[in-house]
Amino acid sequence: MRDKTKINPMLKTGLELGPIVAFFVAYLKLRDSSFVIAGTDYDGFIIVTAGFVPLMMLSMGLLWKLTGHLSKMQIATLVLVVVFGGLSVWLNDDRFFKMKPTMIYLLFGGVLGFGLLRGRSYLKYVMEEVLPLQEAGWMILTRRLTWFFLSLALLNEVVWRTQSTDTWVYFKTFGLTAAVFGFFMTQGGVLQKYAADKGE
């Protein structure tokens, strides 16, 4: 196993969020376009999805090359992007790509929930290095994050099934990102109360 290497935080953020921003910008430019490839009509959303998948693979590949490490969440996300993005392009059906966030959040919520049933916090194994907490704090945060992920999965289903593609793209790009950021911003009380340096 390669040792982890720290890189500039701005570069790391750029590699993680760059493909999402590129997808959004490309969608705005191509959403009203249609392309005929090998006799099949593809709308702008499918073409942008076809570009997003290899871009995401390239971004994660660079991140791994520079840091020597990808988290399990990053690997799982990449696999689901490839699978559901690939299905959307192959079957020319945007529903598969729109389901991707649902599958991602169901997977994360399910894994965390399974750990809780076993009396363990799997979140601790992923974030312990950057977020040192007492065991009780990890369990509280894991329970909250489990329900949060499951709620996002349900919300994504409601949005893509009832709203326009434009609305879903804005929701995916900004709504889900803001929701995750907002969740951790509201956990300050737990992080402060159960900080590891306070002792057990």
The DSSP-derived string for the chain is -PPP----HHHHHHHHHHHHHHHHHHHHHHTT-EEEETTEEEEHHHHHHHHHHHHHHHHHHHHHHHHS---HHHHHHHHHHHHHHHHHHHHT-THHHHHHHHHHHHHHHHHHHHHHHTT--HHHHHHTTTS-B-HHHHHHHHHHHHHHHHHHHHHHHHHHHHS-HHHHHHIIIIIHHHHHHHHHHTTHHHHHHTBGGG--
Average pLDDT over residues 18-46: 93
* 1-15, 39-53, 94-108, 176-190, range with the lowest pLDDT: 1-15
pLDDT score at 22: 95
pLDDT score at 171: 96
**pLDDT-derived band of residue 199, with 50, 70 and 90 as boundaries?**
very low
pLDDT tens readout for residues 76-98: 899 999 999 999 999 999 999 99
Whole-prediction pTM? 0.84
Q: Considering the chain, what is the average pLDDT of its residues?
A: 90
